A and B are shown apart, each in its own frame.
Chain A
Amino acid sequence: MKSWLVIGQYLPGNSFIHRLDPRTKLIIIFSFVCVLFFANHWTGYLLFTTFTIVSIVLSKVSVPFLLKGITPVWFFIVLTFFLHILITKEGEILWELGWFQVYEAGLQRSIEISWRLLILVVFTSLLTLTTAPMEITDALESLLGPLKRWNLPIHELALMMSISLRFIPTLMDETERISKAQASRGVDLKSGTLKDRMYAFIPLLIPLFIGAFKRAEDLATAMEVRGYQGGEGRTKLRALQFSNLDIIAAIGYVIVLILFIYIRQ
């Protein structure tokens, strides 16, 4: 599979992390991503790295698969690394090549920043690998629910999100099918001038759009036929429920936070 497809793909499983309530996962991950930026000492990084490794082990996701899934992001991590080396000019010069100098503080900062980025990416892909898209949507709807009081259309937004997520695989299948059909009619996306290649996308895009509109219409009809009228008074098939696992996870996370505050002082 093309690796860019793997990023954000759900891998069904039955691990500790899989069985957590999606709200727990969302809260922990969002707050963790924020806390991550307060790390200012190697002990803090060590703590967060350990936390990440423990989470990976608990999720039973294979490490090569996880790393392969984030291949597209490696580019940014490496870029960040070199940018910081280039622009930070503090401390001793460690190494020099013409106009290019590596400063001690520069090296330290680049390692810190890219390490932070790596943890961030690994952690968020752990969320999407262990949580079905529908669970994430349900969790968002539930967590943002209080905003409905200010007339924000939370239910509708969640519905739009879940429908889009539901149709991503369908659209990808469709893209593959149509591009194969057009390739059989002699379309070549891989050679020719840039202009030729742009034109070669038209026979792919038009059938895709037409298919998507048709599907949207069918879906609207099907929903209306089954009595859908919006969020008011609608019950859920899979109600979210916190369990003991969530308490364990919360305790574990709070311990990490306390340790972190302790280290920082």
Chain B
Amino acid sequence: MEITFKEVSYTYYPNTPYEKKALHNVSFHIPSGAFVVIVGATGSGKSTLLQHMNGLLQPSSGKVSIGDYQLPITSKKVSLKELRKRVGIAFQFPEHQLFDETVREDILFGPKNFGIPEKDMEHRLQEVIHLVGLDEELIERSPFELSGGQMRKVAIAGVLASKPDVLVLDEPTAGLDPISRVEMMELFSSLHRLENITTILVTHHMEDALKYADYMIVLSNGRIHSKGKPVDIFNNQDALKEVQLLLPESIDMFHKLNQTFDLNLSYRGQSPFDLAKEIISSLGEDSS
């Protein structure tokens, strides 16, 4: 599904002393099937933005369209349930939403609410626990007996079980150990490639942004600071510093080597391996 934001502003608690303008005139377009990464300092409005994508929040001004859905909703007849079935959101620390007696029940909670036929349930359950890499023995256990990492997987499986067309992920790897983090990112990446799921990811890991994003949006104080391909975003180092973000380590190192040895190389989106080769060959030219 396509997602378009047109001059969207959002204010929490308008007309009270607690009024807080969290988004200012945000506009962008996400084509169907894209992998978009949203970055920005804490409090820059990332989570507020994401909550517009399944109608949890409706813009105070401006328009959001998600597929055929238009926000703000003007008619009472429009059901948000259908939208929420098609746009799956995993919030920060999604394991806090677990509540059911068994892992099975919790994973199938979403599909049940969305009216998936009973006969498909078992199949879906098997599918998602294999996707996220959960042990089959765990499905009859209480989710509260599991480790933090396993709980996170259960919660993500619960979102995937409704088979959304759009997957919205708010810092899904925060607090995971390095291996689990890589596994989880690979899972999202393969879902995106194989099932053509439109993916919107909020992350503080610039390496992940560089590796997976087709397109990046940089938020700062509720405004879009910049948007574009990762190459272009990461080539503008000064702009990134302004919004308290750092370069991915590989690019940072490349820039430093470039400066130290006066190499005059440029970053055009090469892989770390190609970067290394370029550096070596131009160092070789120098010494000869």
Contacts and interface: CB of A to CB of B under 8 A. Distances in A.
B13 A178 contact: no
A242 interface: no
Interface string B103-143: 00000011011100000000000000000000000000000
Interface residues of B, number: 28
Contacts of B17: 11, 65
Given A65-B16, A180-B51, A185 B81 contact: no
Contacts of A194: none
A248 B13 CA distance: 37
Contact of A186 (B81, B96, B98): B81
Contacts of A206: 99
Given A1-B18, A185-B158, A186-B114, A177 B96 contact: yes
B106 to A, nearest CB: 9
Given A1-B18, A65-B17, A183 B84 contact: yes
Contacts of A202: 99
Interface in B7-21: 13, 16-18
Contacts of B109: 185-186, 203
Interface in B143-162: 144, 158-159, 162
Contacts of B81: 186, 188
A180 B96 contact: no
Nearest to A174: B96
Contact of B54 (A11, A178, A184): A184
A84 to B, nearest CB: 33
Nearest to B14: A1
Contacts of A203: 97, 99-100, 109
Q: Is the interface of A mostly helix, strand, loop or mixed?
A: helix
Contact of A6 (B16, B88, B91, B112): B16
A178 B96 CA distance: 7
Given A1-B16, A11-B17, A177-B91, A184 B96 contact: no
A51 B98 CA distance: 53
Given A185-B109, A186-B81, A207 B99 contact: yes
Interface of B: 13, 16-18, 51, 54, 56, 81, 84-85, 88-89, 91, 94, 96-100, 109-110, 112-114, 144, 158-159, 162
Given A185-B84, A185-B97, 11 more contacts: A6-B16, A177-B91, A181-B97, A182-B97, A185-B109, A185-B158, A185-B162, A186-B112, A186-B113, A203-B109, A207-B99
